[in-house]
Amino acid sequence: MQELTIRRPDDWHLHLRDGDMLESVLPHTSRHFARAIVMPNLVPPVATTADARAYRQRIEKALPEGDSFTPIMTLYLTEDTQAEDVVSGFQGGTISAVKLYPAGATTNSHNGVRDIEAVYPVLERMAEAGVPLCVHGEVTDSEIDIFDREAVFIERVLHPIRQHIPGLRIIMEHITTSDGIDYVESSPEGIAGTITTHHLIINRNAILVGGIKPHYYCLPIAKRESHRLALRRAATSGKKRFFLGTDSAPHLDTDKESACGCAGVFSSINTLSCLAHVFEEEDALDRLEAFVSLNGPGFYGLPVNEETIRLVRRQQPVDYPERIETASGPVTVFDPMFPLYWDVA
């Protein structure tokens, strides 16, 4: 296949940041994507409906002329979150989901949840009102190995939430293990998983072999090869409860290339080229549209996009920048370590 037309895709997990960084990264998403679930882990976090409304306005202001892009806003769940604010923000159309960060699990998560049972009353109200919960699924206990933190989260946190509040719709974001895939597949309706572009391409060797490669460090951390293969099988299966969340998460190079580098991979620029490459390798180009354009709106109960995009396989590798410039310095773009031939026409 040399050409593929699909409905315009959406990104169900994206970090747009704020200020200069927002200005620099937003065009790389709005060029190709119609909508994105925008993560609320700003400093300070997007914790109330009023915060989400103000942040949405800043995103709309930063949007390049002529691009049609809808940010889908989320709230950062804290132990002080008020259920009334969540429900009214959802019913009024300002927010579409709430995000659970276990405190200390990832970038800007220190205001997250320490005691999950403390937020059960809010989760119960969300279930009644139909507000979905997006989850960063890693425990933070210091005795748990970083490579096991997702699997342990499923057992200690996610499964108990689902037992206690079966009506809550949950998105297990950026799944990195076969445990996560198996959990979603073996559960009844009501839980879905997003998968990032980079976790379909790299395993932990990319971070650690031949020297430390900070631009491949993200959370949850990439796991061993068998897990990457499980993610590929799920993403390319066409199954309705798996869809794209790029987790494109820009950090300044000076913050990544450091003795204590930040977690996050910036991939919005070449994500669709990378995904077409992966789906072609798996002989599943006919299922790319399900993963990037159909399954996400299906789970979130939103209409699919009517516009289309055309992907073209070029004769020569596609050019994309190694890094982009922002007012505060460069940000390195995800390098899949192979040439990309698929391009968005």
Ligand X SMILES: NC(=O)N[C@@H](CC(=O)O)C(=O)O
Contact footprint for ligand X (CB under 6 A) = 15, 41, 106-107, 136, 218-219, 247, 249, 263-264
Beta carbon of residue 106, minimum distance to ligand X (angstroms, whole number): 3
Rounded CA-CA distance 188/186 in Å is: 7
Q: Is 247 a catalytic residue?
A: yes
Q: Two tokens at 334?
A: 């995800």
Of 247, 253, 335, 343, the active-site residue reads: 247
Q: Is 174 marked within a binding site?
A: yes
Beta carbon nearer to ligand X, 107 or 178: 107
For the beta carbon of residue 124, count every other beta carbon within 10 angstroms.
15
Name which of Zn ion, ligand X, none residue 25 binds, using a CB cut-off of 5 to 8 Å depending on partner kind: none
Beta carbon of residue 316, minimum distance to Zn ion (angstroms, whole number): 33
Taking the chain, what is the end-to-end CA distance rounded to the nearest angstrom?
A: 15
Beta carbon of residue 67, minimum distance to Zn ion (angstroms, whole number): 22
Amino acid at 75: L
Q: Two tokens at 195?
A: 């998968």
Beta carbon nearer to ligand X, 100 or 219: 219
Between the alpha carbon of residue 309 and those of residues 5, 33, 284, 285, 295, the distances in Å are 6, 9, 18, 14, 17
Rounded CA-CA distance 126/227 in Å is: 32
Beta strand spans in 120-266 (E): 133-135, 170-172, 191-195, 242-244
Name which of ligand X, Zn ion, none residue 107 binds, using a CB cut-off of 5 to 8 Å depending on partner kind: ligand X
Beta carbon of residue 41, minimum distance to ligand X (angstroms, whole number): 5
Q: Is 133 marked within a binding site?
A: no
Locus of tokens 């399954």: 295
Beta carbon nearer to ligand X, 74 or 178: 74
Name which of Zn ion, ligand X, none residue 264 binds, using a CB cut-off of 5 to 8 Å depending on partner kind: ligand X
DSSP 155: I
Any idea what the Cα angle at residue 100 is, between residues 99 and 103, rounded to 5°? 135
Beta carbon nearer to Zn ion, 18 or 124: 18
Three-class DSSP category at 106: coil
Residue set of the binding site for substrate? 15-17, 41, 136, 219, 251, 263
- Residue ranges at the known binding site for Zn(2+): 13, 15, 99, 136, 174, 247
Known catalytic residues? 247
Residues contributing to the annotated binding site: 13, 15-17, 41, 99, 136, 174, 219, 247, 251, 263
